[in-house]
């Protein structure tokens, strides 16, 4: 077991990538704290992971990150790892973007991870604590309707590199990030159906979007996450890794109809 007896908090862990990471951490021997918004989903995830403790809170409230860390420390007696997975995917064209949507996106995707790290630092610094931020390949640009979401993930990426240097040097706490590509989560499946696609849309993807014939599974992102929470990754810090099946930059189709 790669994470035996490690104490890890995974935010946004009642569905999708976060749940897959929490499940994999549990399978690898870690004690896990679950976080989310919906009590029914949290209870179901807790039962699946051996009655793991859970805490419900809205991370857009700047007072809740410290409360969540305090809950985790009280339940587990300390903290060895923090996975900042909770995030919101907001979609609006630039002309339609509201100040409220912009601020909400940044509050959850950028401010909350920083406040969680800040609150967890005293515990993480007791050992070689590990922070893993979950970003997105959209940090490099994204579609036209992703101005707030993509730029918030770009900010998170810069925060990872900044804290990855500072906290490793001053506290022996490493901070890294993975940027998942297109992943078949429950929410992504629902969003595409809301956009008018068939329920089985993910089985009909052209290879320009899915060279392997399918998109990634949450469990595959979770497998990558374990490496950064495991001590085998050593002192590597401030690293951002894309987890996608094609290059995030400089990709051109073989044939283009003009």
Active site residues: 149
35 three-class SS: strand
Closest CA to 27 of 226, 228, 236: 226
For residue 220, how far is the Cα from the chain centroid?
Answer: 13
Please provide the DSSP assignment of 145-190 as one string: TBHHHHHHHHHHHHHHHHHHHHHHHHHS-EEEEEEE-SB--HHHHH
72 three-class SS: helix
CA 192 vs CA 3, 48, 80: distances in Å = 35, 28, 37
Closest CA to 239 of 161, 172, 149: 161
């Amino acid at each position: 077991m790669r994470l035996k007896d490690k104490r890890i908090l995974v935010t946004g862990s009642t569905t999708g990538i976060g749940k897959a990471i929490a499940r994999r951490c549990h399978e690898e021997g870690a004690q896990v704290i679950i976080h989310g918004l919906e009590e029914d989903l949290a209870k179901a995830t807790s039962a699946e992971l051996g009655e793991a403790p859970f805490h419900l809170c809205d991370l857009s409230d700047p007072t809740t990150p410290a409360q969540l860390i305090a809950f985790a420390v009280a339940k587990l007696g300390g903290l060895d790892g923090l996975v900042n997975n909770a995030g919101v995917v907001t979609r609006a064209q630039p002309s339609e973007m509201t100040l409220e949507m912009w601020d909400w996106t940044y509050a959850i995707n950028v401010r909350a991870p920083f406040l969680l790290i800040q609150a967890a630092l005293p515990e993480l610094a007791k050992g070689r604590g590990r922070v893993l931020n979950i970003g997105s390949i959209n940090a490099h640009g994204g579609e036209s309707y992703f101005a707030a979401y993509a730029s918030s993930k770009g900010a998170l990426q810069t925060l990872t590199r900044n804290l990855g240097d500072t906290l490793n040097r001053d506290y022996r706490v490493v901070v890294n990030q993975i940027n998942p590509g297109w992943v078949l989560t429950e929410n992504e499946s629902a969003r595409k159906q809301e956009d008018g696609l068939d329920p089985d849309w993910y089985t009909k993807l052209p290879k320009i979007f899915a060279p392997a014939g399918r998109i990634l599974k949450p469990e595959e992102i979770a497998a990558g996450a374990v490496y950064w929470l495991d001590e085998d990754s050593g002192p590597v810090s401030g690293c951002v890794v894309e987890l996608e099946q094609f290059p995030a930059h400089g990709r051109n189709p073989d044939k283009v109809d003009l």
